[in-house]
A and B are shown apart, each in its own frame.
Chain A
Amino acid sequence: KRRGPAAAPRMADPHPLFDDTSGSQPGGRGFAAPPPPPPASQFPPGAAFPVSSLAVAYGSTLATQGLDMVDRNINRFIPVGRLKYYFAVDTVYVGKKLGLLVFPFVHQDWQVRYQQDTPVAPRFDVNAPDLYIPGMSPPRDPPLCLWGPPQFSPDSLGLQASSALAWLLLEVVAIIFALYVVTVTTDLTPIDLVAFAGYKYVGMIIGLIAGLVFGRTAYYAVLSWCCLSVFVFMIRTLRLKLLAEAAAEGVLVRGAKNQLRMYLTAAIAAAQPLFMYWLTYHLLR
Chain B
Amino acid sequence: MALTLYSLLQASLLIVNAVAVLHEERFLRHIGWGSDQGIGGFGEEPGIKAQLTNLIRSVRTIMR
Point out residues on A near B: beta carbons under 8 Å: 159, 162-163, 165-167, 169-170, 180-183, 257, 282
Contacts and interface: CB of A to CB of B under 8 A. Distances in A.
A180 B55 contact: yes
Interface of B: 1-5, 7-8, 45-46, 48, 51-52, 55
A181 B48 contact: yes
Contact of B3 (A167, A181, A257): A167
B51 A159 contact: no
A180 B2 CA distance: 28
A159 B7 CA distance: 12
A166 B46 contact: no
A163 B2 contact: yes
A156 to B, nearest CB: 9
B4 A163 contact: yes
The 3 A-B pairs of least Cβ separation, nearest first, read A166-B3, A166-B8, A181-B51
A183 B3 contact: no
B51 A180 contact: yes
Given A169-B8, A183-B45, A183-B46, A163 B52 contact: no
Given A181-B48, A181-B51, A170 B8 contact: yes
Given A169-B5, A170-B8, A257-B45, 20 more contacts: A159-B2, A159-B4, A162-B5, A163-B1, A163-B2, A163-B3, A163-B4, A166-B3, A166-B4, A166-B7, A166-B8, A180-B51, A180-B55, A181-B48, A181-B52, A182-B48, A183-B45, A183-B46, A183-B51, A282-B1
A162 B8 CA distance: 11
A142 to B, nearest CB: 12
A180 B4 CA distance: 26
B5 A166 contact: yes
Contacts of B45: 183, 257
Which among A165, A166, A169 has the greatest number of chain B C-beta atoms within 10 A? A166
Contacts of B48: 181-182
A257 B4 CA distance: 37
Nearest to A185: B45
Contacts of B51: 180-183
Nearest to B44: A257
